[in-house]
């Protein structure tokens, strides 16, 4: 079965307890479950991961690039957390393997501190979902699926 990767960057393991007034009360396990339901509804397998380590995330992006080329994956929904605003290495990883990525942010980063307004990831993402809370993950999976269908990869 074709899969979709949902990738979570640093501190997203704290979801549910970290700044609930900004990120809500759902845990990362709750997000995994809602993503699983959305993936299943679209006939996809879910591969759901989180890491606090840049190198690990880069390796997973490379791996997913190979899976997309082999027709095993439609790409990645990616919440890069604070790496969004800092990591040229993650941007280069996505670009390097031409990975179809939909970037997702739970909060509306544009309504927050100035340093959250710039994303190194957006220029290499196929789409961006911002500010819908954890619902954004399901919207992003659906968007990535639609793109794959339009491009005959699904
Ligand atoms: C975030 C927004 C980032 O600015 C922040 O560093 C995060 C979470 C979001 O989902 O809203 O860790 O990506």
Domain residue limits, the chain: 3-150
Ligand 1 atom closest to residue 80's alpha carbon, by position in its atom list: 13
Owner of token pair 């990535």: 144
CB of residue 105 inside a 6 A radius of ligand 1 = yes
Q: Can you read off the two tokens belonging to residue 14?
A: 């704290």
Find how far residue 31's CA is from the centre of its chain: 12
CB of residue 83 inside a 6 A radius of ligand 1 = no
As a whole number, the mean pLDDT across the chain is: 98
Residue 105 is among the residues annotated as catalytic for this protein: yes
Q: Which residue owns the Cα nearest ligand 1 atom 6?
A: 82
Name the band, by pLDDT with cuts 50, 70 and 90, for residue 153.
Answer: confident
Q: How far apart are CA 60 and CA 8, in angstroms?
A: 11
Q: Is the pTM of this model over 0.85?
A: yes
Q: Can you read off the two tokens belonging to residue 137?
A: 């993950």
Query: If you measure from the C-alpha of residue 82 to the centroid of ligand 1, how many angstroms do you get, rounded to a whole number?
Result: 6
Residue 23 is among the residues annotated as catalytic for this protein: yes
CB of residue 84 inside a 6 A radius of ligand 1 = yes
Alpha helices in the chain (DSSP H): 20-23, 28-41, 54-69, 88-96, 135-150
Per-residue pLDDT at 154? 85
Q: How far apart are CA 123 and CA 116, in angstroms?
A: 15
Ligand 1 atom closest to residue 105's alpha carbon, by position in its atom list: 10
In this structure, the strands spanning 73-79 and 45-50 are: unpaired
Query: Model confidence over 91-149: pLDDT tens digits?
Result: 999 999 999 999 999 999 999 999 999 999 999 999 999 999 999 999 999 999 999 99
Q: Kindly give the interhelix angle for 54-69 and 88-96, rounded to the nearest 10 degrees.
A: 10
- CATH among 1.20.120.640, 3.40.50.300, 3.40.50.9100, 3.30.300.130 for 3-150: 3.40.50.9100
């Amino acid at each position: 079965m074709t899969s979709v990767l949902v990738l979570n960057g640093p501190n997203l393991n704290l979801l549910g307890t970290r700044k609930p007034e900004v990120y809500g009360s759902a845990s990362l396990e709750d997000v995994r479950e809602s993503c699983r339901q959305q993936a299943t509804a679209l006939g996809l397998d879910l591969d759901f991961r989180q890491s606090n380590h840049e190198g690990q995330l880069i390796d997973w992006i490379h791996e997913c690039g190979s899976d997309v080329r082999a027709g095993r994956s439609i790409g990645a929904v990616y919440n890069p957390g604070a790496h969004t605003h800092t990591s040229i290495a993650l941007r280069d990883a996505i670009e390097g393997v031409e990975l179809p990525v939909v970037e997702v942010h739970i909060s509306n980063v544009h309504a927050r501190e100035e340093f959250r307004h710039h994303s190194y990831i957006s220029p290499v993402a196929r789409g961006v979902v911002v500010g819908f809370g954890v619902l954004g993950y399901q919207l992003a999976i659906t968007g990535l699926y639609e793109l794959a269908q339009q491009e005959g990869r699904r």
